[in-house]
Chain A
Amino acid sequence: MKTTAPLQIGNLLKTIAFLFFGLLILWALISYLMLREVYLHWVLLVFNLLLSIALGWRFYKSNYHTTFAYDQDGFEIERGDSRLSARWRDYSRVSLVHLGLGESAVRLYKDGDDFLQIPVSSLKLDPSEFRFQVMEFVKGQERGPDLGASSPRR
């Protein structure tokens, strides 16, 4: 199986920055309540930064980090603590979705509106190329029913 699990720098930095400023505000409040002044020292800032990195890394791993493994039969996707594996033949339609802000995803439709989204931009895969590859995987297996004149989403 081909596996990809790139580090999502943007999400990691966002998490660390959010924690850093959150902890800073929390510390300012606590010190003001206890000492009637906001006590700041460079050692505290370094400690805060290290704590933010440690907590941010943990939060990133359990919420954002995505591992995707696939071959021509099926795939396995793990995002944070959730994990899903499926076969391509369980799906009948493939689409490419533009999510905005330069993010793209490949959607795999079962019958009806039910779909699974693979975040190809986060996985650093070429969205268009990967979409065609997945179409081949899905087509290589049993085709889904003709949708008639109804929406491909239905």
Chain B
Amino acid sequence: MKIREYLLKLEDNLMTGGGRWVADFTESFWELPVGDTTFDMLILGHTRPRGFLLSRFFSWIALPNYPVACFAYSDDPELKRLSPSLKAIAEYGEKEEMPWAWLVIVNEGPFSRRARALVEKNDTKEIGIALVGLASQEITVSKSYIGRRMGRLAKRFK
């Protein structure tokens, strides 16, 4: 599977309710510069799902409504762009009052051992990171709750 194909499937999955237990994603941008980093894809959403009649009413009275985002970029097996990307996401999150965000890094080949260890050790609560190696069929996630949730959503699409 190619990177673009994977990102399209991830986008479709998130925007058609794949992440509904976490957030309702509604708007997607591609090739978007944020700070010094250009992300392949950015999907924006809110924690309150839209629903229909009763479900809309219950989500309105029971759920908080804050913005969330899923950032994605590719071709970085050594995670050289990770640090500026996290900085850009943190700045963006602060400006948009976004309590948390996901970062999905996709690579056609495998990620280096050092890169996987770096992500596995990452315990940032505000940003959940997932490494998706398409050829090796491997997903590595950061150990925060948000990161573990991303692991399920970033499943490999066949």
Which residues of A approach B to under 8 Å, CB–CB?
93-100, 107, 128, 131-132, 135, 146-153
Contact of A98 among B16, B31, B34, B35 (CB under 8 A): B16
* CA distance in complex: A148, B32 (Å): 10
Tell me the smallest distance from the CB of B97 to a CB of chain A, in Å: 10
Which residues of B approach A to under 8 Å, CB–CB?
8, 11-12, 15-16, 25-35, 42, 44, 50, 88, 91-92, 95-96
Given contacts A149-B92, A152-B32, contact A97 B26 (CB under 8 A): yes
By a CB distance below 8 angstroms, the chain A residues around B16 are 98
By a CB distance below 8 angstroms, the chain B residues around A97 are 26-28
Given contacts A151-B92, A151-B95, contact A98 B29 (CB under 8 A): no
Would B31 and A135 count as touching, CB distance under 8 A?
A: yes
By a CB distance below 8 angstroms, the chain B residues around A135 are 30-31
Tell me the smallest distance from the CB of A6 to a CB of chain B, in Å: 22
Contact of B15 among A98, A132, A146 (CB under 8 A): A98
Contact of A149 among B8, B31, B91 (CB under 8 A): B91
Given contacts A95-B27, A95-B28, A107-B27, contact A151 B96 (CB under 8 A): yes
A-B contact count (CB 8 A): 52
Q: Which residue of B lies closest to A102 (CB)?
A: B16
Would A149 and B50 count as touching, CB distance under 8 A?
A: no
* CA distance in complex: A91, B26 (Å): 21
Would you list 21 pairs from A and B whose C-beta atoms are within 8 A, ordered by A residue? A93-B32, A96-B15, A97-B27, A97-B28, A98-B15, A98-B25, A98-B26, A128-B8, A128-B11, A132-B30, A147-B32, A148-B35, A149-B35, A149-B88, A149-B92, A149-B95, A150-B92, A150-B95, A151-B92, A151-B95, A152-B42
Please list the 10 inter-chain residue pairs (A to B) with the smallest Cβ-Cβ separation, ordered nearest first: A149-B91, A98-B15, A149-B35, A96-B28, A97-B27, A95-B29, A149-B92, A152-B29, A146-B33, A98-B26
Given contacts A98-B16, A152-B42, contact A93 B29 (CB under 8 A): yes
Would B27 and A147 count as touching, CB distance under 8 A?
A: no
* CA distance in complex: A135, B40 (Å): 13
Tell me the smallest distance from the CB of B65 to a CB of chain A, in Å: 16
* CA distance in complex: A152, B88 (Å): 13
Q: Which residue of B lies closest to A104 (CB)?
A: B15
15 further contact pairs, Cβ within 8 A, besides A97-B26, A100-B50: A96-B15, A97-B27, A97-B28, A98-B15, A98-B16, A98-B26, A98-B27, A149-B34, A149-B88, A149-B91, A149-B92, A151-B96, A152-B32, A152-B34, A153-B44
